Structure formats: structure tokens, C-alpha cells
Amino acid sequence: MISLTKIMFSRRFFLINLVLVGVILGFVMSSILFACSTGVQPRDSARAEEPATAPLQEVDPREGSFRGIAETVLPSVVQLTVQEVRSVTGPQGDRPWFDFFFRSPDNGEREFRTQGLGSGVIVRRDGSTYYVLTNDHVVSDGDQITVLLYDSREFEGAVVGTDSRKDLAMVAFEADDEIPIAALGDSDSLYVGDWVLAVGSPFGFQSTVTAGIVSALGRRGGPAGNISDFIQTDAAINQGNSGGALVNLRGEVVGINTWITSQTGGSVGLGFSIPINNARRAIDDFIETGAVRYGWLGVSIRSVAPEIADDLGLEHRSGAIVHHVFRGSPAEEGGVLPGDFITEINGRAVNSSDELIALVADLEIDEEAEFRLVRQGEARDVTVVIAARSDEREIADQNRNLWPGLSVFPVDAEMRDEMGTEGVDRGVVISNVEARTPAAQAGFRVGDIVTEINNRTIDSVRDFYRELNELQHEVLSMQVVRGENELEIDLHR
């Protein structure tokens, strides 16, 4: 039998004791630490959205201003649900038994309802009628419109008027209760870098507020035919934000959110808003007449190409060149001629053809406007009485009154070589011929080289417009090179 003393001092017994001591010490330490920690009773529950118990850092003053802006603006921004009813007539589908029993009796005509979503801003009240400014593309095709307020009340809306040129529209609804009206700011006072908030209902998430800055001003482009310039912002704008408000730090609406550019359809920080100053006149026009009235000059213009600018002897390219003038238009009566280069309107500089279109559109109808232009290298002023613009279809029908109906471009040696007219050392090439105009009816074609007008040699674009405007003959005889042929074509005024 092994003695007790030997067992007590054996290596195995020492290791066992060491392990037991470690377990006891671990139990004691864990008990102490647990007793010092914050206890949670079995019946308590902790949620991630609950505020932390530790004190937060002091709130940034700008965050406080955002909070105040949201409280001020949200009640005046609405969600618009738009339903469109479409009737489709077609042959029976792949379930003839279903069509036989359930199709409508009017030869298979079916009614489909599609639903769109957008936002709007309450901008005016007249008695119990409230007026909501939104985008044309939000409501123009709608048959039934529901206006949803910030407090979840719903009202039936009706379209007052639409305008595709600036993508604006007005919706009205009736309510006896007091509803906040948005305060409109001054979009001309914005600077790049200013804080702005976008308010709307992206993807149906009503009363969403996002923050960002003014990324750029005076942006052009966007939806085809839109004549507005735009405020660019990186405040998140998505589908459903259209027609909503872009507001400054004073809670004033400075823009109407309109479109985004994105390869995915979601916000990538490139959102665009119509400046509210571009919409003020539309608000009055919608309420008073149901349509927006635009000024009309009666010209066809483009920004000038470098080659034409050089040929005309222009010192800079800020402006717009007049290619055609409508006969009987305010422009013709005021003395504007083809080839004129417009640089100012009422003392305001014109930087491009798009800007000129926008400036003319906002001119007062039946009022005089002063145009500064360059003609044959000399600056001059003309006074024009602006008329009301007709709709696009009526203007297109007036093409027969568009003089002269063709545009020209300088010809260089490389171009002559490409066209196979190396032996022609003068003239200008026709770059465009408008349909149904005098030039089109006379038989001019794109690529024709005009070398003479009524036996006067044409060496440049400047020469072409000088002879076109100085010769007051009823018929202008033009010598034209077309490929290897030389033609004489008469252009009738």
C-alpha cells in the first residue's frame, strides 16, 4: 500500500490541486464581475431602436435647423396617387374558355388601370380650394388623382392645368380645414454649396426628408423639350420625389424636384429641380387661365459653332445665331434677320440658344423687349413687341413661313475633298433644310454648295447672309454645286 505522504507529494496530486484552485478562482472572479455589472431582469426586453442610456454628444446646430425645417415644410408637401384608365381591344388570349364567359360584350375591349406616384407642394389657397404645384409627367395622363396629406387625410384632386415645356402642372382639391401653405423662396439667391432638403414620397414612403447641398446651378438638359434650367443637388431624390419640394435652411421652397440621372434608376447623388423662380409665373397662369402663356419671338436659333463664329467675325461665342425668321412674326416686324447673332435681352447676357429660348419664354406678352445683336460684325439694338406663343403643332404648321428654310456652314479643303468638289474654291455648304419651307420647296438639299446669289460671289457665311438680307428681290437666284453638277435654283420669298 502506498503511503499517504507519498500520495500528497506526488506530481499527479499537485496537478489536480492546481486545476481545482483555478476553477475556484474563476468562479469567485466571475461572481464579483457579474455583481458589479448592470442587471437585466428576466422579464425586461432590450430593443435596438431604443435610445442609449449613455448621454449623447451635443447636437450639431445644423441638425437642429433641419428638424425645424422638416416640421415647417412637411405639412405643405403632399403625396399624389395617380390612376390612369386604359381600354385595350384585341384578339382572344390563350384562355378562350375564359374569354367566352367573362370578356366584355364590346368585342373583347378590356379596361386596365395603371397607378403612378408622385409628390406636390401646396402653394395657394382660394377659399376652400387648395392648389398643389407638381410635375406635368406626374399627373398629365391621370384619370383619378388622390391627394394624401402629411396627417394622412385624403382628398380627391383635379388637374387645373399642365405644361410640358417646363414639366409643371397644377392640381386642386377642396378642404374646409386650415392646411399649411408652403413659403416660396428666391432660387436666384442660391449658391453652390448651400444646404438644401428634398421633401417628397420616394417609392411611396410618404413625407421623406433628405439633405444635401446645391451641387450646381443653371444645368441644362434633362427631359426632351424642357426649356428650364435646373438646380443640381446631391440630396437623395428617387422615383416618387417628382413634384416635391427642394427647400433652403429657412424652410422656403426654392425648387420643384423633377428628375434624376442614374444607370440603376436609384439615387446616385445627381438630382435636378426646377428653380421656383421659373415656376412663379406658371402658378399664376394655371390658376387664372389653366395654361401657361409663353412669349414668342418667331425665330429658329442655335448656339454658334466655332467655324461659323470665325466666319462671321464674332469675338466670342456667348449668344445664339438666328438661322430662320418666321414671316409676319415679332422678330421680322422688329427687324431681326437671318444670320443675326443675339447676345443680350433687356440687358441680360445670353450665353446659349437654350438660355435665349428660356429668356424669351418669360418675357411679358404684348410688351417691348430690347435685343442686342451682332450683324455683319457690328453691334446694334432692335426693339421687338413679344407675342404669345402658340402650341407646338400650330408652330410646326407655320414652317411654310420660315425664311429662308436652309442653314449654311463654311467649306474647307477637307470638306471639298470628301464631297468630291475639289475644284470649287468658294461658297458655303447647306447643312440643313427645314421641311415645307421655301428652301425645301425650291429643291435645295443638304450638301449643296452655294457659290453665288444673283451673280454675287459667296466666299463665306458672312457673305451669304449679307446678300440674303440686302437683296430685296422677290426671287433670289442661287448658283449651286451638287456633286459634279452645277445648278441654278430660285428661292422665292
- String of DSSP letters for 68-137: HHHHHHGGGEEEEEEEEEEEEE----S-HHHHHHHS-TTTTEEEEEEEEEEEEEEEEEETTEEEEEE-HH
Residues 6+ apart with CB under 8 A from 63: none
Q: Are 314 and 236 members of one domain? A: no
Please identify which of the residues 215, 242, 267, 460 carries the catalytic annotation.
242
pTM score, whole prediction? 0.76
Q: Beta partners for 342?
A: 320, 373
In a domain, 139, yes or no: yes
Residue 1, pLDDT score: 42
Kindly state whether residue 182 falls inside one of the protein's structural domains: no
User: Could you tell me how far CA 30 lies from the centroid of its own chain?
Assistant: 65
Q: Within a domain: residue 45?
A: no
DSSP string, 381-439: EEEEE-EE---HHHHHHGGGGEES-EEEEE--HHHHHHHT-TT--S-EEEEEE-TTSHH
pLDDT of 44: 39
Half-sphere exposure of 57 (CA within 13 A, CB side): 3
Q: What is the pLDDT of residue 107?
A: 57
Catalytic residue (one of 76, 137, 164, 207): 137
Q: Report the CATH number that the domain containing residue 385 is assigned in CATH.
A: 2.30.42.10
User: Distances in Å between the alpha carbon of 70 and those of 73, 86, 107, 294?
Assistant: 5, 38, 53, 34
Q: Which of 135, 146, 142, 139 is nearest to 84 (CA)?
A: 142
Distances (CA, A) of 136 to 227, 294, 394: 14, 16, 21
Among the listed residues 215, 167, 199, 219, the one whose alpha carbon sits nearest the alpha carbon of residue 66: 199
Give how far the C-alpha of residue 90 lies from the chain's centroid of Cα atoms, to the nearest Å.
37
Which helix (DSSP H) or strand (DSSP E) does residue 188 occupy? Answer: none
Domain finish residue from 289, 314, 331 = 289
DSSP 334-346: HT--TT-EEEEET
pLDDT at 31: 45
Confidence at residue 25, expressed as pLDDT on a 0 to 100 scale: 52
What per-residue confidence (pLDDT) applies to 64? 61
The Cα 2–Cα 66 span in angstroms is: 85
56 in a structural domain: no
Which of the residues 76, 136, 163, 167 is marked catalytic? Answer: 167
pLDDT for res 58: 43
Amino acid symbol at 15 = L
Answer yes or no: 167 catalytic: yes
| One domain, residues 375 and 410 | no
Q: Which of 275, 271, 123 is nearest to 190 (CA)?
A: 275
* Regions of the chain where pLDDT drops below 70: 1-65, 86-112, 413, 416-417, 420-423
Torsion sign, CA atoms 97, 103, 106, 107: negative
**Is the same domain home to 306 and 285?**
no
Residue 437, CB-side half-sphere exposure with 13 Å CA sphere: 24
Q: What per-residue confidence (pLDDT) applies to 391?
A: 81
CA torsion 155-147-188-305 (nearest 10°) is -140
137 is catalytic: yes
Q: Is residue 459 part of a domain?
A: yes
Same domain for 260 and 320, yes or no, is: no
Please indicate, yes or no, whether residues 380 and 463 belong to a single structural domain of this protein: no
Is residue 101 assigned to a domain? no
Total tally of structural domains belonging to the chain: 4
CA 38 → CA 30, 35, 41, 53, 396, distances in Å? 14, 8, 10, 11, 79
Residues 196 and 275 in one domain: yes
Q: Do 302 and 452 touch, CB atoms closer than 8 A?
A: no
Tell whether 274 and 193 lie within a shared domain: yes
Q: Are residues 161 and 76 in the same domain?
A: yes
- Indicate which CATH number applies to the domain containing 75: 2.40.10.10
- pLDDT for the residue 99: 54
Tell me, what's the pLDDT at 7? 44
Q: Is 444 in the same domain as 354?
A: no
Range of the domain at 430: 405-492
320 and 235 within one domain: no
Final residue in a domain of this structure, among 262, 289, 316? 289
Domain assignment present for 9 = no
- C-alpha 430/C-alpha 479 separation (Å) is 12
Q: Which of 339, 344, 353 is nearest to 311 (CA)?
A: 339
Same structural domain, 77 and 155: yes
Both 323 and 372 in one domain: the answer is yes
**Strand 245-247 and strand 295-296: pairing?**
unpaired
Last residue of a domain, one of 174, 195, 221: 174
